[in-house]
Structure 1
Amino acid sequence: MILALYCPDIAQNAGTTIRTGACLGVPVHIVEPAGFPVGAAAFRRAGMDYLDAADLVRHASFDAFDAARRAQGRRLILFTTAGATGFTDFAFAPSDALLFGRESEGVPEAVHRRADARVTIPMKAGLRSLNVAVSAAMGLAEALRQTGGFPAARPRAG
């Protein structure tokens, strides 16, 4: 399974998502261009020392990302407020690519058309959307829960 961010706008959200991926053992792919220099101080601050533990892959464009995920036989699961299926009702597979759109505008229609599935995180009526880093953590947690992909628990020091 991989977690992917489409042209993220906010370094702190990308850093938080990369930290989530590092902690859960899931590669994070960034589809560029990003709205910040990847590797900039704000990005490193948000990811803290987890960036060194992360499996981070950068793609110069959506076409490059899409070609790579297709070559790996991954379904593209787009998390979107326009999805018809709730994410907890969707059957994830261990090889899925979970894609989250940019904070300012999601993903363009061309990306929607390439998705194998479009899922949503149900929310209270009248609210626009969750933070992308929160959405990514929720979506990844559900996908890992369904597929048994969580890392083994470490015993607590004590």
Structure 2
Amino acid sequence: MHIVLHEPEIPANTGNIIRLCANTGFILHLVKPLGFKLESRYLLRAGLDHHDLVQVKIHQTLNECLNNGEATDIFAFTSKANHYLYKIQFSERPWLVFGKETKGLPISFLNSLDESKKIKIPVQPKSRCLNLSNAVAIAAYEVIRQLKFK
């Protein structure tokens, strides 16, 4: 199971996601450019001592990350999706792709996917979206719930 962060900007969010991956077994993929250095004290603090428990892969581009022959079941999380998270059936090896905090995923990437692969997490009508690390946690645990904590 894989989590992909496209151009993450906030080190504390990525640190929280590192900690999440340590607790869930997801592999974390970070797509450059990153809005911080991997040695950032905010990243390290949010991830606590979990960094050694996580497989983190750094990629130059989103295409490089996803066109590796392994990423066969890709889901993009976007507030622009028509399908809610709770209606999606996940495979045993999903790739959950999230965009940068301020802009989300590139339109060109979203346009390359079937509508059924674009997912949104329900929020109140006047709210824009969730914090990135919260959204990733909700999605990751929905996958784990569906797979019955395998």
Q: TM-score range by the shorter chain?
A: over 0.9
Once residues 62 and 74 of structure 1 are traced to their aligned partners in structure 2, the CA distance between those partners, rounded to angstroms, is 14
Once residues 17 and 83 of structure 1 are traced to their aligned partners in structure 2, the CA distance between those partners, rounded to angstroms, is 22
Contact 2:71 2:95 in 1 (8 A): no
| Structure 1: unaligned runs, 5 residues or longer | 152-158
Identity across the alignment (%): 28
Q: Deviations over 1:93-139 (max 9, x none)?
A: 11110011110100111111233500100111111110000000000
TM-score using structure 2 length: 0.93
Residues 93-112 of structure 1: pairs in structure 2 closer than 5 A: 93-112=91-110
* Larger-gyration structure (1/2): 1
Residues 27-106 of structure 1: pairs in structure 2 closer than 5 A: 27-68=27-68, 71-106=69-104
How large is the Cα RMSD of the aligned pairs?
1.3
1:21 is aligned to 21
Over 3 Å off, 4+ runs: none
Contact 1:76 1:114 in 2 (8 A): no
| Structure 2: unaligned runs, 5 residues or longer | none
Residues 140-155 of structure 1: pairs in structure 2 closer than 5 A: 140-148=140-148, 150=149
Once residues 115 and 3 of structure 1 are traced to their aligned partners in structure 2, the CA distance between those partners, rounded to angstroms, is 17
Could you tell me how far 1:73 is from its partner in structure 2?
A: 4.4
1:154 is aligned to none
